[in-house]
Structure 1
Amino acid sequence: MGRIINKLSLKGDRILGIVVIALMLISLLVVYSSTGSLAFRVRGGDTSFYLLKQLFLLVGCYGVILLTQSCHYKYLLSFATFILLASFGFLVLAKVMGATLNDTERWIKIFGISFQPSEFAKLAVIIFCARAIAFEQTEKGCDDNVLLRMLWVVPILFLIFMENFSTSALLGGVCLFMLFVGRLSLKTFSKIIGGLVLLVVLLVAALFIVPEKQLGKVGRLLTVKSRLEAFFVPSKANKDDSYQSDQAKIAVARGGLFKVAPGTSVQRNFLPHPYSDFIFAIIVEEYGLGGAGVVMLLYLIILYRVGVIVRRCTRMFPAMLVTGLGLCIVLQALINMGVCVGLFPVTGQPLPLVSMGGTSLLFTSAAFGMILSVSHTFSEEGEREAKEKLKVATTEEEI
């Protein structure tokens, strides 16, 4: 019995493992509440359907964490290029023959399983960038040749950009931060930032200069323009463009400071996707700012524990891997929460491990599993296990 419990327990950083389980429990509560109106529209009032569906997904996600935490990071280092090429192939396949769901990103189906290739691409890009930064380390810092290696990720970022601007911007920002932490020279880093600022200015200018008919032919640029207008110039925006953010603000206002009223959300009947993109607004409405503060605190704890794990690492690749994965999860959470309270334009980013959905949950779980794997490897327990394996190997050789 003890062995079974040991195999089913999360290894590595225990605090991080507790936070992961806490977010999963919160997900069950909030998804059950936020899908009430959806259940009446689609399932004829069967409110338990989405609860059981989310429960099974979370159990599967826990299995993914157990599987990935048992995989040593050296295998990710070895297959980083292959993983990146596979993600590029999936993105191209989605562009050519993928299906559009909820008028957003394209999905592909493999062996009867549908998933968003952009979620897989996020992991692939971070793993590859961590490898590139680790391979270009010198005594003085990270060599500028790392930029040539990271050119491999540009086509992937472009393909993601054509489907979801916010995901590509989030992933690009994470890559930049990894370069900064990886000790790229400030001179080179400043040039990159300057070039990106110029590129963003030109892109925003093009959004308001190019006719809308032409913008509609290039990815989702027309959607990006409408969301920026609704955020920065609400007086000129259409009511449809600002509808989601307005309903989310109403949910936040209804929540108040402290409130414990699960299942009483009113705005779930008006928000287009209260169980995914705007699930944080439902949390505020039903649990108040106090409950929302607890959720925010959990993500800040993740950020802190990621920093602790990085400081324990004695190798550059696992340190960069944990940095990229942890930052991507936390930034995505902050963006989701910022959108719900009106700090950012509408982006469509789900709340990691809380929002309903399969692809985001599974790949976020894989990211947590990788972080826990690195944490376990560089922990005292992991070092003891490594020494015991070494002793067994030595004994067998002697025999």
Structure 2
Amino acid sequence: MIASLDSILSKTRGDRWIWLIVILLSMISLLAVYSSTGTLAFKRGVGAESILMKHLAMIIGGIGLMYISHKIDYRYYAGISKLLMIATIPLLLYTLVFGNHVNDASRWIPIPGTGLSFQTSDLAKLALITFLARTLSRKQENIKDVKQSFIPIMSSVCVVFILIALANLSTALMLFGVSVLLLIIGRISIKQIAVVCLAGAVLLAGVVFLGPRRKTYISRIHTYMHPEKATADKSFQSDHAKIAIASGGIFGKGPGNSTERNYLPDSFSDEIYAIIVEEYGLIGGLTLMGIYLFLLYRCIKIVTKAPKAFGALLACGLSFSLTIQAFANMAVAVGLGPVTGVPLPLVSMGGTSILFTSIAFGIILSVSRDNDEPKKVVVGEITEAP
């Protein structure tokens, strides 16, 4: 057993703490999903074990993708980012027009012959972050040039933002925030960042007040700002999430003893944090929060050690994207934000979310692996490793 474990660990590289974090989050996910899918299983006429096995298959597939992506030299992702951006824009447009409509939102496109659906915004997040990291790192010498640097960067951020925001505003806002952080770290001037933020604000206003989901967005904002005026059906999800958290106490009701899982419509995805707190209490909620904070800390260490700008920007963008998404999900569950459709990374049940999150972890580990490997130094005709 120990020999086989050593054999597996010998084939993995990068920050070992991040590998441990992935394993912990996967275990938490299995427990939480199994506990919260009883009602879903009843509606589908299947056993909860059947849903758990599918979720386990996704986690195993995600870890496999993470392993593959961490073995690839992160520099190759610079070239891949161009292909991803070329594919992302048409896919987002196709999703808006021909995608599956769920809750008045078109976010998924079906994968023929599999019975599965693909959320294109997950690909768009990965594509935009890698593209920005590549562009910012390669244009440092003329980073303030409007034509060569600023216009390509601004156009890519704004186009992806508007295409995602029309169906998924919360994801678009988080991705826009991560993009602005990358622009600041990438030494874009304050004036140019202000222009990007102004353009984003104009697009945001257009989506909220003129977009196809304007009624949903305005209703959610109104419910959050004035909960006392909201009808029972409008505040149902947020109310039961608060009940779940309040009834959990300090130590929780225990694994599998949640009652609010029978009422929350998305207890296994968007509101899974509320179920975790209900079953494992304040201690469980704070522990999960601490895991994500520790993840951010380890990623920042990777960023500070990265010798190249592209690796630093890539790891920085992906780590901020994961942690901001995690805390946005937890904030919604405890009532610190309006209801959104943002999953908890590597914990919520979901196909493409788990797979693309795993790829993001793999890319971060690829940067970490490069940091840890000894650099070769050429001395005359002799190549040595210091």
TM-score (norm: length of structure 1): 0.87
Counterparts of 1:38-77 in structure 2 under 5 Å? 38-44=40-46, 46-77=47-78
- State the Cα distance separating 1:196 from its structure 2 match: 4.3
- 1:163 partner SS: coil
Structure 1 segments unaligned to the other structure (5+ residues): 208-214
Q: Measure the CA separation in 1 of the matches of 2:294 and 2:313.
A: 19
Partners of 1:8 and 1:111 in 2: CA distance = 38
1:383 matched to 2:374: yes
- 127-136 vs 234-243, which deviates more? 234-243
Q: 1:10 deviation in Å?
A: 3.5
Q: Which amino acid aligns with 2:252?
A: K
Q: Which runs of 5+ in 2 are unaligned?
A: none
For the Cα contact (< 8 Å) 1:137–1:143, is it kept in 2?
A: no
Shift in Å, 1:100: 2.0
Aligned 8 A contact 2:18 2:298 in 1: yes
2:190 is equivalent to residue 186 of structure 1: yes
C-alpha distance in 1 between matches for 2:5 and 2:221: 54
Equivalent position of 2:21 in the other structure = 19
Q: Displacement, 1:155?
A: 2.0
Residues 289 and 184 from structure 1, CA distance in 2 versus in 1: closer, same or farther, beyond 3 angstroms? same
Query: What is the aligned partner in structure 2 of residue 211 from structure 1?
Result: none
Q: 1:116 to 1:259 in 2, by over 3 A?
A: same
**Does residue 134 of structure 1 match 2:134?**
no
Distance, in Å, in 2 between the alignment partners of 1:273 and 1:193 is 32
CA distance in 1, matches of 2:268, 2:349: 6
Q: CA deviation at 1:260?
A: 5.6
- Contact kept, 8 Å, 1:105 with 1:116, in 2: the verdict is no
Q: Point out the more displaced range, 3-12 or 220-229.
A: 3-12
Q: Is the 8 A contact 2:157 2:176 kept in 1?
A: no
SS across alignment from 1:115: strand
Letter aligned with residue 313 of structure 2:
M
1:79 corresponds to 2:80: yes
CA distance 1:238–1:8, change in 2 (3 Å): farther
2:318 to 305, 325, 332: 325
Greater Cα offset, 190-199 or 277-286: 190-199
Q: Distance in 1 between matches of 2:10 and 2:264?
A: 38
- Tell me how far apart the structure 2 counterparts of residues 198 and 49 of structure 1 sit (CA, whole Å): 46
Report how far residue 81 of structure 1 moved: 1.7
The one-letter code matched in structure 1 to 2:149 is: V
So what's the TM-score if we normalise by structure 2?
0.90
Identify which of 253, 258, 269 aligns with 1:276: 269
How far off its partner does 1:203 sit? 4.7
| Residues matched between the structures, number | 376
The answer on 1:267 being equivalent to 2:260 is: yes
| Residue 28 (str. 1) matches residue 25 (str. 2) | no
Match of residue 127, structure 2, among 124, 129, 147:
124
The CA deviation at 1:331 is 0.4
1:199 shift after superposition: 5.9
Q: Secondary structure at the match of 2:265?
A: coil
Deviating more after overlay: 48-57 vs 99-108: 99-108
Match 2:160 to one of 141, 152, 156: 156
1:166 aligned onto 2:157:
no
> CA distance change for structure 1 residues 108 and 85 in 2, over 3 Å: closer, same or farther?
same
Task: Tell whether 2:238 aligns with 1:245.
Answer: yes
In structure 2, the CA distance between the partners of 1:88 and 1:34, relative to structure 1 (3 Å rule), is same
Alpha-carbon RMSD across the aligned residues, in angstroms, is: 2.5
Whether the 8 Å contact between 1:133 and 1:142 is mirrored in structure 2 is no
Within 2, Cα distance between the matches of 1:373 and 1:70?
6
Aligned amino acid, residue 85 of structure 2: L
Q: How does 1:202-351 map to 2 (within 5 A)?
A: 202-203=205-206, 207=209, 218-259=211-252, 261-351=254-344
- 3-state SS, counterpart of residue 235 of structure 2: helix
Deviates more, 1:2-11 or 1:279-288: 2-11
How far, CA to CA, are the matches of 1:146 and 1:221 in structure 2? Answer: 33
Distance 1:161 1:112 in 2: 29
Q: Could you tell me how far 1:221 is from its partner in structure 2?
A: 1.7
Larger mean Cα displacement after TM superposition, 238-247 or 277-286:
238-247
Q: Per-residue displacement from partner, 1:109-166 (whole Å, max 9, x unpaired)? A: 3453521111111100111111111122139x76555321211342222111111111
| One-letter amino acid matched to 1:51 | L
Q: Cα distance, 1:350 vs. partner?
A: 0.2
1: CA distance between counterparts of 2:112 and 2:236?
38
- Check the 8 A contact 2:332/2:340 in 1, yes or no: yes
Instruction: Describe the superposition over 1:247-305 as per-residue Cα deviations: whole angstroms up to 9, x where unpaired.
Output: 10000101112226000000000000100000000001000011011100111011111
Distance 2:336 2:195 in 1: 29
AA paired with 1:27? S
CA contact (8 A) 1:143 1:184 kept: no
> Could you tell me whether the CA contact under 8 Å between 2:158 and 2:200 is conserved in 1?
no
